Every structure is written in structure tokens, then in C-alpha cells.
Chains A and B, each alone.
Chain A
Amino acid sequence: MYPCSSTTLERPLLLEQMTVRYQVMKRKWQQLLPGAVRLRLNGTDAELLTAVKFFDQRQDREQKKQQYESEEAREKMSFLQLQAQVLFERVTFDLEELQEAIRIIDKDVPRTDRDLPYYRNEGLGNLLVLRDILITYAAFHPEVSYAQGMNDLCSRFLEVLHSEVDTYWSFSCYMEKFSKDFCADGLYRKMELEAALLKELDPQLHSHLVTDNMEKITFCHRWLLLAFQREFEHSDALRLFEILSCDHLELISQQVDRARYQERLARKYSLEDEPVTDLQAINTDFTFELFMCATILLENREALLSCRNEVQLIQFTSSLQGKMDLNSTLKKTEEHFYNYCKRSAWDYLSSRCRIRKSKEDHFLYQLRNLFS
């Protein structure tokens, strides 16, 4: 949530600023839609009533605490508030859209997995914190708004960070990169990529699972949307989420970027004026997550090949829920990932060998053989 370049000294100040900004943002939609401030209860869910009670109590306590703050602190706060208000003054909402989003959020928030310890007893109030975060996000990101599944995703941030403000900003940062997965095109694109990757790894399974209209492979969609949240045990799923979000072993990671940058620099300063061959070595869109999905498919290759239609496929994949072992899956995924990189490197060098018949030939051949 903090910019990478910020220092330890700056961060507490940034946090203050972000806290106030979040509050101003939240207050803005609350003022425009006073009817939506509170969760609409239909009176059937006793747990939810308790949740509201806990949430209200907590808010009261926080308000009382604020009253005892010093003059100086309050002055600083009001300055930050003014700043934030100016910042968000011009933001306008499509109230109709937002109300629709809130309607779905109100339906979905109670459906978040509340058997987790985090939501037990007084923790029930956290459901309403989650609700505020999701509505604020939807209000200020109308292009993304709210999509089912975001509650599960955001809940993971909240559970780990246990702070409304931190969760909001972390979730927003995460969504900068992944919000497209929650839009119709993004979903489709991800499944297309998965299909392309599977084609590289196992053409036979690919032709069995992938048809022109992508209908069969739709069963992977839930895995990819929520990073296998429902397939692994909860703590494993959390760990996996962290692994996937840190971009380690990803072809777009910072390290790779830096390496590419240095390569470009080196090329710029080299005096050789040879034509630069732009061969596509690796497809950087293949994220680790896609490899993971492919690994699970390959692991269950035989079972999948014996499925004759969508019905059997979806039955089979539902049967996997909660049954997979994270460590072994990760290990196998890593293997597939490295093999893919190795093979791509080999292919790339091979084609370079063919193109350049120069003095380096011998060296390139040697290099290529390292990857075979």
C-alpha cells in the first residue's frame, strides 16, 4: 500500500493521510446515499443482527476515543480532512449503478465464509467493515464496481491486516493489477491464456478440453478468479495467495524487468551495429497462477481425459475442492515452470543459431546445449 520508494519516516505520515482519505471517501458515499449506510436486514439471520450490534458498539467506542484527542492532533486532522475533501470533491457517482452494486454487496457480504475464526463472536462485526470497504471501492472505481468473489478476496486482506484502512488501500493496489480479471473480458482472456499454455504443455489434453467456443475450460475459471481459494484448506489458500501476489517466479517480476532493462542498456552502448532480432522467446503473460492451474490439470490428466462432457468435467473439478495438497502442487508447478523456461530458452537459442552464422556460433551452440 505504500509506494516502494517511501521511507520509514514517511510511512506514518502517509498512513495518517490515507486514513483520513479513506474516511472522507467513505463519508462521501454515505452522505449521498444515506439509506445505504446501514446493511439492509431482512430479519431472518440472527447472526447478522449480532454482527450489526458488535459493529455499532465498536464504532461508538472509536468515536468516544476521538473526543479525547489533543487540540493539536485535532487541528492536524482537520487539515488533512480538508485536503482530502478537495481531492475528492470533483468525483461524481453514478448513483443508480452504485445502488445496484450495494444491493449485491449486501447479499454477498453475509455469504463470506464466516466460519473462519476471524468472523466468530465479536468478530462478526468485521463483516460490516468488509461491507464498507467494498462499497467504498465500488464507489470510487466505477469502471470495476463490484463483482461477486471480491468479498472473498478482500476478506483475506482484512483477516491478515485486521485494519479497515490498510485493507482498503492494499485491496485497491491489488486490484490495480487484477481488476480486469473481474470484468467480463478479463475472465475470458485468462481462460484463453490458460488454454494456450496447456497447448504448449500437453497438446492432447488441450485438444480434449479446449473447443473453439472455450466452453469446456470454463471450469477453471473459479480457480483462477480467486487463486484457488476454495480448492485448498484456508490457511494454505492464504499462503498461496501471498505466494502468487509476490510475483516470485513470474516472468513479469521486478528482477526480470531489471535484467531486461540492463540488457537494453548494454545493447545501446555496444558498438556492433547488427540488426536486432526480435524473436519472442517466452510468453510473459503466462503467470505462475496459470502454471499452477495447468499443473492441476496435468496431475489429473487421466481423469479429465475420461470425462466426456462439461457435466462430468465440472463434477470432477468440484470433487477436487479442499482435497489438494499445496506443497506438492507448488513443487510440481515450479518444475513445469522451469521446464517451460528451459525449453523456451532452448528454442530461442536454436533459432538464433540458425540466423547468425558468425564467429559466436560455437558459443551459442554450447549455450543452447546447456538448456537441453
Chain B
Amino acid sequence: MQVPWNFRFGIVILGDSSVGKSSLLHRYTEGTFDESRQSPLGIDFKVSNMYFDPDVVIKLLLWDTAGQERFRSICKSYMRNSVGCILMFDVSQRQTFDRVRSWQQEVLDYVKPNPMFFVLVGHKCDLAVGRQVRKSEGDALAKKLNMLAYLEVSTKENINVKETFETLTRGIYNLFQQGKIPTRGDWQGLTVGATVQKESPVTKKSACCNCG
């Protein structure tokens, strides 16, 4: 199934190990909740198309990473080829929240001079007991770190899953329209494909139209 796309965004999902990165992606792309998945070693990825406005197709390359420190070097090149980042922590594990700041710093240092836009996700918000991070804290941190938004998500109950991806994509799209994201030839984070047309788009400019 090949759909001509107008823009392609690379999006990477980061956060400590076992905060639920893979299950979020799985829920978004497959629509199911499956706990017993294999852990991604290094890197895993999915493609998904997002339609918005009249006739704008955005192709999302979604990179799922292994959170463990020692796999970090494997994930780095995929950070570089992304424009957006879903930075996750587990609301029931305080230490995963405490490390958000250093995660963001590390990513920004690494992708320089290219930009990276973040949404912060507090995962497992369905847990009634054992919550260790309040919503207000998440909101405050996202604001402080200049992120696009803070969302509380539950993959299990399917709360805010779609919204997470939409908020990030929409945010990046708007920033791009405002001219705040430059595109570079060798940077694959944000690529412009077919020109947006009122009728169904026919031409594809990019050389990479056969992926997925």
C-alpha cells in the first residue's frame, strides 16, 4: 500500500527502559495492547501515515529504541534522523521522571545543529495506586524544558495514545509552516515530498518513495 506523502517526519520514542515505549507504539500502529512483546534490541521501527487538513499526508517513520544505557550508541543515528521525539516516563517510577531532563539534553547535544521537538509523556496513568509523579509536575517540566506538550497516557486503557502522535506531528507541521524548521539535503528528519494539491496528489519528488 503506497500513499504519496507530502511530508515525512522522523519521530523517535525515548525514555528509560520499561517505561512502555514499545507498547505505546504498538498500540498506535496495531491498535492492540499486548504486554508480552519482545524487547527491542537496539532499534525497531514502524511506518504510519497521518492525514490532516484537506489533502495533507504526513508519513511518520516511528523509531522505537531500547532504553538501556548500553544500547544508546545504537540508537543515536536514528535520533539524528528525526525531527520529533516522544520522551516518556512512567508515572509510577519517580526515577524515570527525574531523568527526563538529562535525556532531553543528551538528545539535543547529539542532533545539533538540527532541531528536535519534544512531547513529554507520563505513561501508565491508568494506575490508580502507586502514582509517584503528579500531573502538575509533568506540565511544569514540559513547559520549563520548552516542550510542545505534556500528555498523560495509558496504553492499556487507550487514553491519549492517538493524541500524543497527533500533537507532536501537528506541532512540527505548524512550526514548519511558520518557517521555523529548515530542511537540509542530507538530513532525513523532515523531508518534503509531493507538493500539496487540492486534488489527489500524483507526483512524488523524493527518491525514497518506495519505503513502506
Contact = CB atoms under 8 A, between A and B. Distances in A.
Interface of A: 42, 44-45, 47, 103-104, 107-108, 110-114, 147-149, 151-152, 182-184, 187-188, 213, 215-216, 218-219, 221-222, 225-226, 230, 308-312, 314-315, 318
B179 to A, nearest CB: 26
B211 A226 contact: no
A225 B41 contact: yes
B36 A148 contact: no
B106 interface: no
Contact of A111 (B36, B70, B127): B36
B61 interface: yes
A162 B5 CA distance: 52
Interface residues of B, number: 34
Nearest to A312: B211
A82 to B, nearest CB: 38
A219 B77 CA distance: 11
Contact of A104 (B17, B37, B42, B77): B17
30 contacts: A42-B127, A44-B35, A45-B35, A103-B93, A104-B17, A110-B36, A111-B37, A114-B36, A147-B68, A147-B71, A148-B39, A148-B71, A182-B70, A184-B73, A187-B70, A213-B77, A215-B76, A215-B77, A218-B42, A308-B207, A308-B208, A309-B81, A309-B188, A310-B77, A310-B81, A311-B45, A311-B61, A311-B208, A315-B212, A318-B45
A103 B45 contact: no
B43 interface: yes
Given A111-B36, A310-B81, A311-B61, A148 B68 contact: yes
Contacts of B17: 104, 107, 148
Contacts of B80: 215
B172 interface: no
Q: List the 3 shortest-distance A-B pairs measured between CB atoms, nearest first.
A: A215-B77, A107-B18, A184-B70
A117 B95 CA distance: 37
B18 A104 contact: yes
A61 B142 CA distance: 53
Given A45-B35, A111-B38, A315-B211, A218 B43 contact: yes
A107 B41 CA distance: 14
A354 B98 CA distance: 65
A221 B156 contact: no
A219 B18 CA distance: 22
Contact of B73 (A151, A187, A308, A315): A187
A309 B72 CA distance: 20
Contacts of A218: 42-43, 74, 77
Contacts of B109: none
B72 A184 contact: yes
Contact of B74 (A110, A187, A226): A187
B211 A221 contact: no
B186 to A, nearest CB: 10
A339 B18 CA distance: 45
B68 to A, nearest CB: 5
B53 interface: no
Nearest to B96: A103
B133 interface: no
A184 B74 CA distance: 9
B42 A222 contact: yes
Contacts of B61: 311
A221 B36 contact: no
B74 A221 contact: yes
Interface in B1-57: 17-18, 35-39, 41-45
A149 B44 CA distance: 14
A42 B73 CA distance: 31
B78 interface: yes
A291 B211 CA distance: 29
A291 B17 CA distance: 32
B66 interface: yes
